Amino acid sequence: MATNGLAGREQELEAKQRLERERSDRPDQEPEPELAQKHEQAREETISGSEALLRGLLAEGVDCVFGYPGGNALYIYDAMTGNPAFKHLLTRHEQGAVHAADGYARSTGKVGVCIATSGPGATNLVTGIATAYMDSVPLVVITANVPTTVMGTDAFQEADIVSITMPITKHSYFVRDARDLPRIVREAFHLAGSGRKGPVLIDIPKDVSNRRVVYRPYEEELSLNGYEAAPAIDPAAIDELLAAIAEAERPLIIAGGGVVYANAASELLAFVDRTRIPVATTLLGLGGLPSSHELWLGMPGHHGGYAANTAIQNADLLISIGARFDDRVTMKLDGFAPRAKRIAHIDIDPAEIGKNVKTDIACIGDIKDVLDYANAAASPARAESWIARLRRDKADFPFRYRDSETELKPQYVIEMLHRTTRGEAIITTDVGQHQMWTAQFYTFNHPRALITSGGMGTMGFGFPSAIGAQLGNPERLVVSINGDGGMQMCAQEMAVCAIHNIPVKIVVINNQVLGMVKQQQEIMYERRYSQIDLAGSPDFVKLAEAYGIKGLRARTKAEAERVWQEVLDTHAPVLVEFMVPTEENVYPMVVAGTTLDRMIMGDLG
C-alpha cells in the first residue's frame, strides 16, 4: 500500500536515527572522515618552541647540556623546569660552558651541547666555538637572541651571532618559525657529528622560543642538499698507495686527530702491523696508535722528538693519515720532507688535500673505510733497515731533562702522574709549556685519552674541558693539567666541581711565569722579557679552599709523591699545586722559520 510523502520522510528520519543509535553502541567502529580529523586535531599537542627544542635534544640522546641563562633565553630555561628528564649544568662563565661541552665531545665521541643567552652571552662562546672548529670537534651551540620585532634596532643585548661565527661554524641556523625546531635540531646533530665534524650554531629569537606550535617529532629521512658526509673511497687511489708502499725503503706515517675522531685507531693499528711502517703521531693524534707500539716514534714538529722529526726529513714516502700538515708539524714548508719522492694524504675533507703540502696520492674518504680497504691487501714495506735506524735515533735521543734533588722539575711531575695512573687516565691540558711536557712525558695508549686545544691553542680550555670529560666518563679518572696562567682564566669553574662533587683532579704546574712566552722571548728575542711575570697570582691552595675544594701543594719530589697519593685517595675534586723552576724550558724546539732538522736540543743534545 502506498504512503504519502510526509509518512515516507518520517520513516526515512526514523531509519537515520536508528542507524546513528547503532553506531553509538559500537565505539570501535571507524568514525566518519571529518569526525576522525576532528578527533586527531584534539589529540595534537600544542607546546612552546622552547619545549620543542628540549624534546629535540632529548630525542638525540643528549644527557647533559652546559650553559648560562640570561633574559632572552628565559623561555628556554623556564621550559627546563617542566621537563625533569632534561639535564643542565650551570657553569660560571659561558666560556666554561662551551669548553666543557668540547671536553665532553672529545672524550666520548658524542656531540657536545651548550646554551647561552644573546649578546655578551653568545659572544663569550666565540673562543670556544673557534677552538672546536679548528680541531674538528662536534658541538651544537644554542644561542638565544632578541625578539624578531626589535632586531636591527640595536636592542639591549642584541648581537648578530650568526654573522660573527660564520667563519668558525660548520653550519648556522637562524630559527624564524618554531615549527622548524624539531627538523633543525635533527639536522644540526647530523651535520655536527658526521663527515669532518665541527660546531653547528642554532640561534633562536626570544619570541620564537615562546611561540605555541603543534608539536610533531621530525621523523623523515634526512636529505640535505649539497651535503656529503663522507665521499666514497676511490679504490684506484688506495691501490696506488699500496704500490708506493711496496716500493718504499724509508716510509713514514704521520697520524693525526682525524684517526681519533674517525674511531679508526684499530684500523690504523692493523695497517701499521701489516705494512711495518713507523708512525709519528701529532699532538691531537696521540693515543691513535699505542705509544707502547714498537714502531711508534713519538710526536713530530715544533716540540717533537728527534726520531720523529729526523724520520720526516729522511723519508722517501710520507703518508699523512688524518693530519692536515699543520705549520706546527711542518715548520718551514720550504725544506719539509725534502727526500720524500711521494707524499700521500688520507683525509675525509677534500679541501685539506694539497692545501699546505703538495700531494701525490690523495685517498679521500672516511679513514675507517680507506684503511679497511687497504688492510685487505696491504703487505710489508721493505723497511727493516730503516726501522732499525729510527729505533737507534729514538734510543739515543729520547725526551729527557736534567733532574734535580733540590728542585721539583715539571717533567718529573708529569712522569709521576703517568706512573701512578699507569697511563690510563683521561688527561686534559691547558696551553703552554705544561702542555708540551704532557705530550712528551705522559705516553698514551688509547684514543680520546688526551683532551687539549691544538689548532687554536686556547688558554683557559684545560680545566672546564675536564669537567665535560668527567661527566661524559663518570667511571674514569680525569686529571686536568694546567699552568698558573691558564688556570686563572677559568678558575671560577671550581665552584661547579665543588657543588656537584665532580671528582676532577686539578693539577697546577706553577712556575710563576708565562712559560712558553718566556721561552720564545729568551731564544728568539735575545732575552728581552716583556709582560710575563705571574708572581702576583693568587695562592691556588687558598683559592681552591674558598670554592670548597681541598687544596694541596708540593715543592720537592718527596712532597709531590705524598700529596699526589693523597689526591688519588680522595674521591672528590682536589687541586694540587706543584711549584717548579721558572727557568725550565721545553726541548727539543724548532724555531719558527727553520726546518725540522734544525732542532735545539737544550743542554742535553
For the cut 70, the answer to whether the pLDDT of residue 39 exceeds it is no
pLDDT in tens, 266-277: 999 999 999 999
Among 87, 151, 157, 521, the active-site one is 157
For the cut 90, the answer to whether the pLDDT of residue 384 exceeds it is yes
pLDDT in tens, 329-383: 999 999 999 999 999 999 999 999 999 999 999 999 999 999 999 999 999 999 9
For the cut 50, the answer to whether the pLDDT of residue 119 exceeds it is yes
Helices and strands, number each (H, E), in the chain: 24, 20
For the cut 70, the answer to whether the pLDDT of residue 51 exceeds it is yes
For the cut 50, the answer to whether the pLDDT of residue 29 exceeds it is no
| Averaged pLDDT for residues 30-56 | 72
| Burial 281-311, CB ≥16 within 10 A → b, else e | bbbbbbbbbbbeeebbbbbbbbbbbbbbbbb
| Averaged pLDDT for residues 438-445 | 97
Question: 201 vs 115, 118, 469, CA distance in Å?
Answer: 10, 13, 22
Q: What secondary structure, in 3-state letters, does 465-501 show?
A: HHHHHHHHCCCCCEEEEEECCHHHHCHHHHHHHHHHC
For the cut 70, the answer to whether the pLDDT of residue 9 exceeds it is no
Rounded to a whole number of angstroms, the distance between the first and last alpha carbons of the chain is 125
Cell numbers representing residue 585 in the block = 724550558
Question: Rounded to 5 degrees, what angle do the CA atoms 562, 567, 569 make?
Answer: 95
Q: Which of 215-229, 287-301, 568-582 has the lowest mean pLDDT?
A: 215-229
Contact 511, 519 (CB under 8 A): no
Among 110, 170, 197, 206, the active-site one is 206
pLDDT level of residue 219 (50, 70, 90 thresholds): confident
For the cut 50, the answer to whether the pLDDT of residue 177 exceeds it is yes
Report phi then psi at 298, rounded to 5.
110, -165
Among 94, 415, 493, 577, the active-site one is 94
d(CA 35, CA 284): 61
Among 299, 489, 516, 589, the active-site one is 516
pLDDT level of residue 221 (50, 70, 90 thresholds): confident
| Averaged pLDDT for residues 467-478 | 98
Q: What strand order describes the sheet that includes 550-554? A: 450-451, 426-429, 478-483, 505-510, 574-579, 550-554
| Averaged pLDDT for residues 220-227 | 88
Contact 330, 312 (CB under 8 A): no
pLDDT in tens, 71-93: 999 999 999 998 999 999 999 99
Contact 436, 484 (CB under 8 A): no
pLDDT in tens, 132-169: 999 999 999 999 999 999 999 999 999 999 999 999 99
Examine the residue annotation and report whether 516 is marked as an active-site residue of this protein: yes
Among 11, 14, 156, 524, the active-site one is 156
pLDDT level of residue 14 (50, 70, 90 thresholds): low
Examine the residue annotation and report whether 157 is marked as an active-site residue of this protein: yes
Amino acid in the structure at residue 231: P
Examine the residue annotation and report whether 456 is marked as an active-site residue of this protein: no
Q: Which of 220-234, 264-278, 313-327, 568-582 has the lowest mean pLDDT?
A: 220-234
Residues contacting residue 376 through CB under 8 Å, at least 6 positions apart: none
pLDDT of residue 220: 87
